[in-house]
Amino acid sequence: MTGTGDLGRRITYHRERLGLSREQVAGRAAMSPGYLQYLEENPGNPSADAVSRLATALGTTAEDLLGGTADRPPGGGPAAQSPHVEVLDREECLRLIGPGGIGRVAFDGSHGPTVLPVNYRLHDGAIVFRTAYGGAMDKDLRTGVRGVEIVVGFEVDRIDEAQREGWSVLAQGPFHHVPPDEAAGLTGSDVTPWVGGDRQLYIRIVPHQITGRRIHGL
């Protein structure tokens, strides 16, 4: 996808997120699969109508496909007309966060309440991510007492602005700094920080409590 533009990357992302083939999306958007492939693989300039039809087919908005929402927080639009909140059980929470992605670690840091985003994976029932030695989550979350670990919160969510729906999951459990001799067992987690840099300290959070909610727009 050497020549792919931002629009093409967003189309591909939403199509793969929904598990749809090009033919399926093209059928929903009333366009040929060949043209959809061209838009995904080349910088293009489709009409406003074509972008609108693609957005509807992909369950998003034209503004999102065109990158207009990239620098603003999600969920800024009005609520659904008759929203319904569903309480999720542990199994459903684990299913939702199972694919991995971006989550947020919440803890009481040296400068007060702190929330930091990380790229995580679920590995053998635990939340695993990597951070830097000497950083806030290294220094602030060490008790200095062998076998005693600080309990943190870990939150993951998904917002569907087009449907005014979404879900959030909160896991709580001890924050474990994985020593080098144990880290070899986590290399199979395939967790990679987007921020890059030398982040070789593996962290493991074993959820002792996990709760979640889903908002349905009716």
CA-based R_g, the chain, Å: 20
Strands 112-123 and 151-160 turn out to be unpaired
Interval 112-152: pLDDT, tens? 999 999 999 998 889 999 999 999 999 999 988 888 999 99
**Confidence (pLDDT) at 5:** 55
**Confidence (pLDDT) at 1:** 34
Q: pTM of the full predicted structure?
A: 0.76
- DSSP 8-state secondary structure symbol assigned to residue 2: T
- What percent of the chain is modeled with pLDDT above 70? 96
User: Across residues 171-185, what is the average pLDDT?
Assistant: 89
